[in-house]
Structure 1
């Protein structure tokens, strides 16, 4: 799917459009809710860029492709978008999909600003073509491990599906908890049914169960099974990947979906820009915007600034990542290199552990700040 040829605000700009290829999961098995929020943030920022005159008088236009959480589909989309002459690539939520997209963008010499995927190894080798707005998984999930320790959880079970992303998360948790006396017990959801998790959890003697699985299946059935098992009344359920952030979680689980801590990438308080964008996103989505929507908005804000200052030459765009200093919705965005991370990374995005309030599941509580 592609955006209309005349983007919002184009009537106030002139010349041919500057096109940005955009990857989002908009159909199953992709996480559609996350994709919709990501796209809303991207589209809002494009509208505002065009209302302000575009890129040196030229309208900014997105060419959107649905990845449906399929790495091969994403790689093919990158090939297509590069051939269409887009100036840069943006978006994607799923880490394994973004990794495939990043590999093709690197090979083709197409600058890619990844919005939401967190996998550390986004590329197999260091590259100057790729930068990322979202925090690296090793950073965010260490914050989550510190939250577990502070809450007194030393024996933690993880219900994990086979995936590079989930395996990476389990390893980060284990490496952070073990030196501090913690233990991680893995429950293989490749062979276990959601209803079988309860017996395994009792046998493990874990005080916390973390959901390293897809949404809504099997995350929702696991939560329901554990909540209804009287033996597990004291076990905390957690979801570091952020599943409870989205309204669909609350609509499917109701009160069972509350008090499940998750990672979200928002500050404790939004500044003036963030508050204005939050209001606009809320109107656009007809619900509270997630941190993913802010990541989308910030992605376009950064790309627009780079394209204004460097022009639409792809090599110049990629060379500009280390010089970026852009005020985003959640703080100033600068990119740097981190150990073990081969892309240009926003080093200090805000990180918090939050949950839905059991008294009012539509309200979030901040439990820990990283």
Structure 2
């Protein structure tokens, strides 16, 4: 993936006139500042960060065109996390000192977890746009809410797809990560009652050719890529596609790597037929159609579900700020009461068993792949 140009959203406010650190509402028409976190440089997933910001940018423009927040413009203050949890936590400190009313965004789960913990400790509301790790916070909190479905929800649906496709002996090529380990555990626990098994292959220790040898010996009928892209995902896909012993193997990527154009550009036809999770309805409603068209014009390409998550994040926050005020405590207290029509359905937050944050239960979930006959076209294989 190439590093994108600098985002058009403001990257920092004027240091001479910050909002009060409490985020309290002013009366002078000063901007309402909103902290935004996204991976904009490597090793972060830059393409995902660009999509997330495109959704934020479009929604912010629409909010401000409609009069802002009680006549005050909504001003995003963007910080690059670069997939670094420490950098994200430091950014939350900085944003809190600048007086943002809330922090929102982030794509990488481990990074979002660090941001959520720091925001909670500082009393700053955090709306997580895209990260799915179930344990977003160590303890239950009222300050953090999330739009993306929890990993356990989406990955169980992916497990149902595998079983329905007759794939019950699964190999996972995994890198060390709390996120990947959590995903493998969810799949193992979900498949076991149905006679399914999960075999783990160490993608950090095995070169692609050695991984193919281990895969051939495993008896698995599917290989799931629990690894980063482009490295080592792309070399593994090429090696498996080229190995005649593995012609019947289904390659899957539940975390969504094939969603982005960079996957298709890197792998071409080899990257088609790789099922992944996508958080979109099969048929968008009028709002989703309109926003999707405008996002496509902004991005110059079809928007991913991550761009819609960005737009929905701002829609939720704008409703909260207009209805309940810009005091941080008021914003956090509004999560259970807000009801917003999002691009993918009505959004409400509630307490969900096993999830310590206020959760939208649930965004629509699809299992999708790129059509081998036309890799630019997506096929919906399963819905949950």
Tell me, yes or no, whether TM beats 0.5: yes
TM-score (norm 2): 0.93
SS in 2 for 1:259: coil
Equivalent position of 1:300 in the other structure: 314
Alignment of 1:219 onto 2:238: no
Q: How far did 1:168 drift? A: 0.2
Q: How far did 1:5 drift? A: 7.6
Alignment of 1:119 onto 2:144: no
Q: How far did 1:305 drift? A: 0.3
Moved over 2 A (4+): none
In the TM superposition, 1:1-370 aligns within 5 A as 3=10, 15-370=29-384
Q: How far did 1:195 drift? A: 2.4
Contact 2:173 2:203 in 1 (8 A): yes
Contact 1:337 1:345 in 2 (8 A): yes
Cα distance in structure 2, aligned partners of 1:228 and 1:115:
37
Q: What do residues 317-353 of structure 1 show as CA deviations (whole Å, max 9, x unaligned)?
A: 1011011110000000000111111000000210000
SS in 2 for 1:85: coil
Any gaps of 5 or more consecutive residues in structure 1? 7-13
Q: What do residues 54-83 of structure 1 show as CA deviations (whole Å, max 9, x unaligned)?
A: 000000000000000000000000000000
Cα distance in structure 2, aligned partners of 1:54 and 1:215:
38
RMSD between aligned alpha carbons? 1.1
Q: How far did 1:37 drift? A: 0.2
Question: Which deviates further from its counterpart, 187-196 or 66-75?
Answer: 187-196
Cα distance in structure 2, aligned partners of 1:239 and 1:353:
10
Contact 1:5 1:61 in 2 (8 A): no
SS in 1 for 2:375: coil
Cα distance in structure 1, aligned partners of 2:204 and 2:354:
29
Q: What do residues 214-247 of structure 1 show as CA deviations (whole Å, max 9, x unaligned)?
A: 1111011110000000110000000000000000
Q: How far did 1:194 drift? A: 2.2
Contact 2:12 2:78 in 1 (8 A): no
Contact 2:336 2:350 in 1 (8 A): yes
Equivalent position of 2:3 in the other structure: none
Q: What do residues 147-186 of structure 1 show as CA deviations (whole Å, max 9, x unaligned)?
A: 0000001100000000000000000000000010000000
Equivalenced residues, count: 363
Equivalent position of 2:17 in the other structure: none
Contact 1:102 1:123 in 2 (8 A): yes
SS in 2 for 1:320: helix
TM-score (norm 1): 0.97
Equivalent position of 1:10 in the other structure: none
Q: How far did 1:190 drift? A: 2.4
